[in-house]
């Protein structure tokens, strides 16, 4: 599949007051836009995700990150819906971000890339939606930080979003999540290859710091049960010192499987992700707080919003716990909105939304079918009665 | 759909906004939205039932009526339905109050503890009655607030709700005999269904 992208020469103003020009938005689409342009679904990717939701990643060759959810006949059925996924503003997979060459210079934006917000990220997406001539999206769907974008879509452009599915997310970034992000950021700053943010000029990347940042993230995406089931206290074969070696007397011999897994995830990540992008996007997440933007009243954010919501959480997710989703669903109710709320039973932590969870699949399929019925879309092939 | 649900459905105007508290498998809201063009939502405590309903494309919110009804703004719905649940909630009076705050009308069904068989059972054996409608022993029942049809009329009067309509359901049919008077209903009715509105 060819890489799609569009350049807006006049760029866009950011919330911070700066203007990014030109603005490039990289995206992938799946399925066909209906003649009435009423079957479009925007999928918003998570923190370190990308637009390759259902097609192989061009750098790693791995299948799309939600290829088990998005495709022909799958819960987000590309035979029925036109799916659009953009790389977020500030990202590093084609959309304008810190690795993009800055106009009028011979250098990338790097550490001078301006601070961005969730509103900016969604505003960049809407430029693409306008360009595609789509007035109203049938749905916006996203997990984790994708859920924050979904909520921003539904509150900033309510009349353009018929249905919304914020998954494993929260109406605000919690203190705990900011704390984890700060550990990640400090790990990047502490890398000798960081060079005060000028690593690109030195022809290096702060790979060790970025890898540690990813390792911290990975722990928060899982759960104790999932880690125990996957690795337990297993020692990686071949890492124990030989019985006759002097190391054998030390208590630190051998490498736990969980250590090896995290190191692998960390070093893999540095091949596909930029440290400045990591910092920029993590900051955009940290400053996300829908309630505080409405005078501390979360329900006020959903006043006049007629979007049909389906809020989904996972029981073992401690990064975006169910209580935060429940708070979101109740706020939508307080505004007289339309909301379904489901907690999916799973012991796999935050990552559960990316994994095989049959109840979750059924929820996504069912909610979209029900919403499509209300939107007057043609019946899908599995749109059966109770 | 159960017979009492069919009765509820006949009392709901087409195209109206409905909240079904304790929506269970969602069959009532499914019927109302498909057959009567209603905008029908559910509220359900059992997560399995919620997942099943949403998977069938029905808008259902997981939550406890005792807690979340307070969230909804006034007059959000044309009808708020509470099926066979009044006796199981923690604060029935509060739940009713919220139902008539957030809805223009309330449809409430509940099992009648004044039925002659229960009275006879208690008088004859001196033990807590157990019947098909009240099937669990006292130490296991979730029905923590049983009431009679008389009790319900009295509460409506006390809290200023107008009884617009009421019916008696015995098994799978209406009991016209019992509907002749509240007295007969209280004695002969197994289940009651009330349509309430604000004001006397």
Q: Closest by alpha carbon to A355, among A60, A44, A68, A49? A: A68
Over residues A172-196, the mean pLDDT reads 98
Looking at domain A4-177+289-375, its CATH architecture is: 3-Layer(aba) Sandwich (3.40)
Q: Taking CB atoms and an 8 Å cutoff, what residues of chain B touch A306?
A: none
Cross-chain residue pair A330–B71, CB shorter than 8 Å: yes
Domain boundaries, chain A: 4-177+289-375, 178-282
Residue in B with minimal Cα distance to A364: B55
Q: Which residues does residue A28 pair with via DSSP β-bridges, in sequence order? A: A85
- Tell me the angle at which helices B149-159 and B92-102 cross, rounded to the nearest 10 degrees: 60
To which residue do tokens 């807690």 refer?
B67
- The beta-carbon neighbor of B68 closest among A333, A335, A367 is A333
Return all residues near B106 (Cβ < 8 A) that are at least 6 apart: B79, B80, B81, B82, B96, B99, B100, B161, B194, B195, B196, B197
CB-based contact B133:B191 (threshold 8 Å): yes
CB-based contact A106:A131 (threshold 8 Å): no
Over residues A216-244, the mean pLDDT reads 90
Ranges of residues in chain B whose predicted pLDDT is under 50: none
Report the alpha-carbon distance of residue B130 to residue B113 in Å, rounded: 11
Q: pTM of the entire structure?
A: 0.93
Please determine, for residue A380, whether its predicted confidence score (pLDDT) is greater than 80. Answer: no
Band (pLDDT 50/70/90 cuts) for residue A144 is very high
- The beta-carbon neighbor of B59 closest among A365, A370, A383 is A370
Q: Is A350 among the residues known to form the active site?
A: yes
Q: Is A317 among the residues known to form the active site?
A: yes
Q: What is the reported pLDDT for A240?
A: 76
Instruction: State how far residue A373 is from chain B, nearest Cα, in angstroms.
Output: 9
Q: Taking CB atoms and an 8 Å cutoff, what residues of chain A touch B25?
A: 386
Over residues A346-356, the mean pLDDT reads 96
Cross-chain residue pair A367–B57, CB shorter than 8 Å: yes
Residue in B with minimal Cα distance to A335: B73
CB-based contact A334:B74 (threshold 8 Å): no
Q: Taking CB atoms and an 8 Å cutoff, what residues of chain A touch B56?
A: 366, 370, 386
The two structure tokens encoding residue A79? 């035979």
- The beta-carbon neighbor of B62 closest among A338, A343, A369 is A343
Q: Taking CB atoms and an 8 Å cutoff, what residues of chain A touch B57?
A: 366-367, 369-371, 373, 383
Buried b (16+ CB within 10 A) or exposed e, A154-173: bbebbebbbbbbbbbbbbbb
Q: Taking CB atoms and an 8 Å cutoff, what residues of chain A touch B41?
A: 338, 340
Establish if B55 touches chain A: CB-CB under 8 angstroms.
yes
The percent of residues above 70 in pLDDT, for chain B, comes to 100
Largest CA distance in chain A: 75
**Under an 8 Å CB criterion, which residues of A touch B?**
308, 310, 326, 329-330, 333-336, 338-345, 359, 362-363, 365-367, 369-371, 373, 383, 385-386
Question: Which is it for strands A137-143 and A40-44: parallel, antiparallel or unpaired?
Answer: parallel
**B99-158 pLDDT per residue, tens:** 999 999 999 999 999 999 999 999 999 999 998 889 999 999 999 999 999 999 999 999
Establish if B7 touches chain A: CB-CB under 8 angstroms.
no
Over residues A237-256, the mean pLDDT reads 74
All structural domains of chain B, each given as residue ranges with its CATH number in brackets, are 3-198 (3.40.50.150)
CB-based contact B19:B79 (threshold 8 Å): yes
State which H helix or E strand residue B21 sits in. Answer: strand B17-21
CB-based contact B7:B169 (threshold 8 Å): yes
A40 three-state secondary structure: strand
- Between vectors from CA A45 to CA A40 and to CA A51, what angle results, nearest 5°? 70
Buried b (16+ CB within 10 A) or exposed e, A14-37: beeebebeebbbbbbbbbebeeee
Q: Taking CB atoms and an 8 Å cutoff, what residues of chain A touch B32?
A: none
ipTM value? 0.89
The two structure tokens encoding residue B45? 């405590």
Q: Which residues does residue B61 pair with via DSSP β-bridges, in sequence order? A: A341, B43
Beta-carbon contacts below 8 Å between A and B: 80
Q: Closest by alpha carbon to A54, among A35, A33, A73, A37? A: A73
Which of the listed CATH numbers 3.10.129.10, 2.60.40.420, 1.10.1740.110, 3.40.50.300 matches domain A178-282? Answer: 1.10.1740.110
């Amino acid at each position: 599949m060819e890489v799609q992208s569009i350049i807006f020469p006049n760029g866009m103003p950011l919330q911070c007051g700066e203007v990014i020009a030109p603005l490039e938005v990289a995206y992938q689409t799946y399925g066909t836009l209906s003649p009435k342009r009423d079957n479009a679904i925007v999928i918003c990717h998570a923190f370190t995700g990308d637009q390759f939701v259902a097609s192989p990643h061009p750098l790693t060759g791995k299948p799309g990150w939600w290829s088990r959810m998005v495709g022909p006949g799958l819960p987000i059925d590309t035979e029925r819906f036109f799916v659009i996924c953009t790389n977020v503003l500030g990202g590093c997979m084609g959309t304008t971000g810190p690795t993009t060459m800055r106009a009028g210079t011979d250098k990338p934006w790097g550490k001078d890339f301006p601070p961005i917000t969730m509103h900016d990220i969604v505003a960049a997406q809407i430029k693409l939606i306008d360009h595609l001539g789509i007035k109203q999206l049938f749905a916006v769907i996203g997990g984790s930080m994708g859920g924050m974008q979904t909520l921003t879509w539904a509150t900033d452009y309510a009349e353009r979003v018929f249905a919304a599915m914020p998954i494993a997310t929260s109406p605000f970034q919690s203190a705990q999540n900011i704390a984890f992000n700060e550990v990640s950021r400090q790990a990047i700053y502490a890398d000798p290859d960081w060079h005060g943010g000028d690593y690109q000029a030195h022809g290096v990347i702060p790979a060790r710091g970025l890898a540690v940042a990813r390792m911290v993230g990975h722990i928060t995406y899982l759960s104790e049960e999932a880690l125990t089931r996957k690795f337990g206290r297993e020692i990686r074969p071949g890492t124990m010192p030989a019985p006759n070696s002097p190391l054998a007397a030390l208590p630190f011999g051998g490498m736990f499987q969980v250590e090896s897994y995290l190191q692998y995830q960390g070093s893999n990540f540095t091949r596909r992700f930029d440290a400045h992008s990591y910092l920029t996007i993590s900051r955009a997440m940290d400053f996300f707080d829908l309630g505080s933007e409405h005078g501390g009243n979360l329900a006020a954010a959903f006043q006049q919003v007629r979007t049909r919501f389906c809020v989904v959480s996972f029981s073992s997710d401690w990064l975006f716990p169910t209580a935060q989703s429940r708070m979101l669903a109740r706020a939508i109710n307080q505004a007289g909105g339309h909301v379904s709320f489901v907690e999916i039973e799973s012991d796999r932590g935050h990552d559960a939304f990316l994994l095989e969870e049959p109840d979750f699949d059924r929820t996504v399929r069912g909610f979209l079918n029900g919403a499509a019925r209300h939107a007057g879309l043609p019946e899908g092939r599995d749109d059966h009665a109770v | 759909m159960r017979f009492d649900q069919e009765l509820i459905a006949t009392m709901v105007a087409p195209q109206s906004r409905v909240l079904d508290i304790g929506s269970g498998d969602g069959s009532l809201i499914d019927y109302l939205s498909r057959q009567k063009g209603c905008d029908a939502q559910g509220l359900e405590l059992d997560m399995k039932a919620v997942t099943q309903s949403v998977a069938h494309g029905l808008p259902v919110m997981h939550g406890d009526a005792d807690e979340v009804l307070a969230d909804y703004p006034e007059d959000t719905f044309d009808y708020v339905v509470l099926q066979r649940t009044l006796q199981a909630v923690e604060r029935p009076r509060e739940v009713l109050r919220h139902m008539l705050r957030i809805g223009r009308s309330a449809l409430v069904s509940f099992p009648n503890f004044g039925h002659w068989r229960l009275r006879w059972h208690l008088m004859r054996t001196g033990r807590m009655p157990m019947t098909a409608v009240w099937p669990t022993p006292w130490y296991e029942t979730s029905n923590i607030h049983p009431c009679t049809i008389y009790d319900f009329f009295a509460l409506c009067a006390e809290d200023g709700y107008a009884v617009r309509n009421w019916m008696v359901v015995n098994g799978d049919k209406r009991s016209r005999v019992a509907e002749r008077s509240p007295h007969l209903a209280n004695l002969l009715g197994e289940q009651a269904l009330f349509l309430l509105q604000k004001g006397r």
